[in-house]
Structure 1
Amino acid sequence: MIDIELVGHEYHYEIENIIKVFEGYIQEAKIRSILRDNLCRAEIYQKEQLIVVKEEEGSLDQKHTKQQLIRTLYHTLCEVTGVKMPWGFLTGIRPTKIVHEMFEHNMPREDIKKRLLEFYDIREDKVELMIKVAEKEKSILEKNQEDEISVYIGIPFCPTRCLYCSFTSYAIDHREKQVEGYLDALEKEIIFGGKYSSNKKIRSIYIGGGTPTALNEDQLERLLMLVNQHFNVKDAEEFTVEAGRPDTITKRKLEILKQYHVNRISINPQTMNEETLVRIGRKHTTEDIVKVFNWAREIGHHNINMDLIVGLPGESPEDVKNTMVKIKELNPDSITVHTMAIKRASRLRESLEEYTLTKAEEIEDMIFITSQGAYDMGMEPYYLYRQKNMLGNFENVGYCKSGKESVYNIEIMEEKETILALGAGAITKVVDPITNRIERIPNVKNVEEYINRIDEMILRKQKGLKDLDNVF
């Protein structure tokens, strides 16, 4: 058990997060984080005996002092455990935000690298990844226009719930009436969104979930017809639909996507190993993945992403090698490599004792295998984020061929553009480009609640979106 005591400050959340990174390396200790006269001090006790203490200077700047407190504690934890983390003391989900801030201050690349290495203690390969991704993102973000938005639409249904999933999603079997009720409510919100965006440029549209292709063919066509009617789809740079699970995809659905101007799709195997697919609750085979991917190419889908997860229960680096060999044969336009995260609301979290989790050293090997595979396919990293409770404290990386970057992924991650979000659990983010202030307007997560309270959800947006008076 870890006992935490704060003295002279109240940064409990931040201190807890950095301690959590060392879970598995230190089980019993008393940890004191102290701020006194701008001096940051960390003490670690075991069996009531002080074993490590460190002190570092803070400053009058509150943000810097908070960082210094975390950094000081991180150094004590490194000394006690003998372990250094690949991302140093960074715990946030958007590491590239730091680099973008440095870009805005016109800091030279070498100075940025030095700061990340020396102050944040980030490992050199991760520093290079951060800067490379931030540079790619910058080239996309610089094209943002005034009064431009992106649109997200959530479909919270899946054929089954995967072992590791914590998203707002419902198994679609025997929910026909609820799905129709959901689409009725979503139609109201789409009509509202169309009015709001009528005098704006839409840069990207993203339909995610859940699994949007869990809808049957008629429902999918109804949804896409609504989107085409109420949003200026043809002028959007990118229109993505997560086709996701191969067991939800038919040739007709792929034709419908093409017919309604969808120009980017995801077909997400997660792994190309049969035993793992069964273990994580997938109802398809690797053969199904290949078949569906080939259908998509034949129908004319020229921008296909594939999601993979490293660290799935029971998988070894050899299994990941096998996955990458098969992915290379398909030759997608982009891949997104996720490191397994033990999410609080997942079935995996509830039954951890039944599974053997992958060790950090093996995760590192797996990440190398996937990155090498991406480079072999002519891809470069363009998108990077992290999650809580990731195995080995690593990262998720999107790789793509030139010109195949997901604009929406970059916009949602870097929060430089307003995103109008529709559907259960969707959170609209209103960005003030001058102050960078972000206001969030959430929809309720529960599908029944969303259906019953759709008018309230629309009213929330009317109050939260500042320039509606120009539209309504």
Structure 2
Amino acid sequence: MIELFLNEERYENDIRALLMAFYHGEKIFARKLGTDAGENSVKPGVGGENLVSRTLEVVYAGGGLRLTLKDGDGQVLGESCRAVFPSDHTEGKNCLKTALYDLLCEAAGRTLPWGTLTGIRPTKLPMAFYDSGRSQEEAAEYLRQTYKVSEEKIRLCTQVAANEKRILEGVDKERSFSLYIGIPFCPTICLYCSFSSYPLNIWAKEVDHYLEALFKEIRQVRSMVDKSCMTTVYMGGGTPTSLNGEQMDRLLSVLEENFDLNIAREFTIEAGRPDSVTQDKLRVIKNHGIERISINPQTMNQKTLDVIGRRHTTEDVERAFDMARRVGFSNINMDLILGLPGESSEDVANTLERIGKLAPESMTVHSLAVKRASRLNQNLELYPPASQEEVNRMIHMAWQAAEAMGLEPYYLYRQKNMAGNLENVGYAKPGKECLYNILIMEEKQSIIAVGAGGTSKILYPEENRIERVENVKSVKDYIERIDEMIERKRQKFPKSGIFEKRA
């Protein structure tokens, strides 16, 4: 446990984020300090519980800043002072984070690959440079000097931003939308999963009822928007291919009846679980003109698949991929997760070698994020996470493997509680990137979500804000309250502007 003492609440979230990056998995408890830190300090191990591993005192006083880091016994590990603390919010935040980062680096004896950056979308920084006409080299120097980002992550971040800019050219982001369809059913629930997913063997009788509610929402959304403005369609979950062939055909037919799918630049369907993929389902999807699917092994090591609760074999992955090729799919993505329980760099090397032989058009590499609602988080003592150094090696190996496969990094984002404080990266062959991934991660466009657990994000570029409209997560509630979900959209969606049909 880490005790955080502050005499003001300024930048508390930024302080917490850096502490969590260095001391992954430790709980942080904040306490109020008076102006004089010494008068109000609380001794570690309050109440006879010797649980405190370290304390951090943050004191803003006299126009300056003082940071003091102590171990669990109260011994000072290091101190950092700034005589002058900037009054500007952004400059103040950067000053604080740099001072704290240097202090933590010295105490921990290591640096972080992303330096002081803890945000979800680091590519926004170089993207802003490119949009203003500045160069990739200038963006790199800014990341280096302002945020102390490592050279490898600078190269990754600036390259991703450059590819994003290229891919987004010609997209009318502010006057268009993408459609997300959520299918919240899965064959089984994986150990690390925190999504709104329901095991099919228990919920099979509710699938048709769910689809009827979903069809109703799709039809009503159609009446609210200008369908000619649709850019991409993405069907995720859960596992959409948990639906049988007839159910998938009905769903795609309803979409075709209400939206002109021919104008969409892409349509992706996640066939994430190989044990949910059949030739019949693949043919249904292909017959509706959909070219991009995602078959997600997460790992190609059987022992790990068994641990995380994926009831299929590595051979099932290869069979599903081969089946998709024979049906005619020429744009297949594969998802991997690095840092899974018990996996080493050697295990990841095996996964990358087998994926390389399949030669997918894109590969999305995730660093394991331990989500609060997952079974993994509730059983961490049984599944200890890999070290930051080990996960960083895995990430580097994945990048090298992607380059060997002719894939370039094109989108990137980070999450809380991510292994090694690292990132998720999408790699793709040029021309095979997933536009939807960029649009939703960079918040460049309005996303309309239908289905249980879906969150619509409506972009108001003139006001520089996003309005969120959430659907309930529970399948039962979604079915019973579908009219309420529709009314939420009707009340929140603008009646003109981005969804108004233009002459």
Question: TM-score under structure 2 normalisation?
Answer: 0.90
Q: Corresponding residue for 1:4?
A: 4
Correspondences of 1:51-200 after superposition (within 5 Å)? 51-56=77-82, 57-145=84-172, 146-200=174-228
- Quote the Cα distance in structure 2 between the aligned partners of 1:329 and 1:318: 17
Q: 1:54 to 1:252 in 2, by over 3 A?
A: same
Q: Does 1:370 align with 2:398?
A: yes
Instruction: Note if 1:29 corresponds to 2:54.
Output: yes
Unaligned runs of 5+ in 1: none
Contact 2:388 2:419 (C-alpha < 8 Å) held by counterparts: yes
Q: Is the 8 A contact 1:148 1:418 kept in 2?
A: yes
Equivalent-residue separation in structure 1 for 2:355 and 2:402 (angstroms)? 10
Q: Which moved more, 1:395-404 or 1:20-29?
A: 20-29
2:66 paired with 1:41: yes
Distance 1:449 1:25 in 2: 33
Amino acid corresponding to residue 429 of structure 2 in structure 1 = K
Q: Report deviation, 1:37.
A: 5.2
Residues 8 and 36 in structure 1, CA contact (< 8 A), matched pair in contact too: no
For 2:77 and 2:348, the matched residues in 1 are separated by 41
- SS of residue paired to 1:173: helix
Q: Distance in 2 between matches of 1:35 and 1:9?
A: 10
Q: Relative to 1, partners in 2 of residues 1:280 and 1:379: Cα closer, same or farther, differing over 3 Å? A: same
Q: Identify if the C-alpha distance between structure 1 residues 129 and 38 changes in structure 2 by more than 3 Å, giving closer, same or farther.
A: farther
Give CA deviations for 1:159-212 in whole Å, capped at 9, x if unaligned: 000011111101011323321221111111111222223354211000000000
Q: What is the rounded CA distance, in whole Å, between the counterparts of 1:59 and 1:144 in structure 2?
A: 39
| CA distance, structure 2, for counterparts of residue 64 and residue 464 of structure 1 | 35
Q: Residue 125 of structure 2 contacts residue 139 of structure 2 at CA under 8 Å; is this kept in 1?
A: no
Superposition pairs for residues 417-428 of structure 1, below 5 Å? Answer: 417-428=445-456
| Cα distance change, pair 71–256 in 1 and its aligned pair in 2 (3 A) | same
How far apart are the structure 2 equivalents of 1:8 and 1:322? 50
Stretch moving more, 281-290 or 36-45: 36-45
For 2:215, the aligned partner's letter is E
Distance change in 2, residues 1:328/1:25 (3 Å): closer
Task: Determine the C-alpha separation between the residues in 2 that align with 1:320 and 1:50.
Answer: 40
The 8 Å contact of residues 295 and 333 in structure 2, kept in 1 or not, is answered as yes
Structure 2 residues not aligned, in runs of 5+: 27-51
1:225 equivalent to 2:250? Answer no
Deviation of 1:49 after TM superposition, in Å, equals 4.1
Q: Residue deviations 1:312-360, cap 9 Å, x none?
A: 1121111111111111111100000111121111111111111242222
Residue correspondence of structure 1 range 430-449 to structure 2 within 5 A: 430-449=458-477
Q: Is the 8 A contact 2:292 2:329 kept in 1?
A: yes
2:130 and 2:495 map into 1 onto residues whose CA distance is 30
Residue aligning to 2:47: none
- Write out aligned runs for 1:320-335 (5 A): 320-335=348-363
Q: Is the 8 A contact 1:149 1:200 kept in 2?
A: no
User: Do the aligned partners of 1:32 and 1:44 also contact (CA within 8 Å) in 2?
Assistant: yes
Amino acid in the other structure paired with 2:55:
K
Establish whether residue 281 from structure 1 lines up as the match of residue 309 from structure 2: yes
Letter paired with 1:91:
T
Q: State the partner residue of 1:464.
A: 492
- Normalised to the residue count of structure 1, the TM-score between the two structures is 0.95
How far did residue 24 of structure 1 move? 5.5
- Contact conserved, 1:9 with 1:34, CA < 8 A, in 2? no
**Paired AA for residue 165 in structure 2:** K
* Aligned-partner SS, 1:113: helix
The percentage of aligned residue pairs carrying the same residue is: 47
In the alignment, the residues of structure 1 paired with residue 405 and residue 105 of structure 2 have an alpha-carbon distance, to the nearest angstrom, of 37
Residue 64 (structure 1) shift? 2.6
Q: CA offsets, 1:409-435, max 9 Å, x none?
A: 000000011111111111111112334
For 2:483, what is the secondary structure of its paired residue? helix
For 1:198-347, what aligned pairs fall within 5 Å after superposition? 198-347=226-375
Match for 1:100: what amino acid?
A: M
Deviation of the 1:38 alpha carbon: 4.8
The total of aligned residue pairs comes to 471
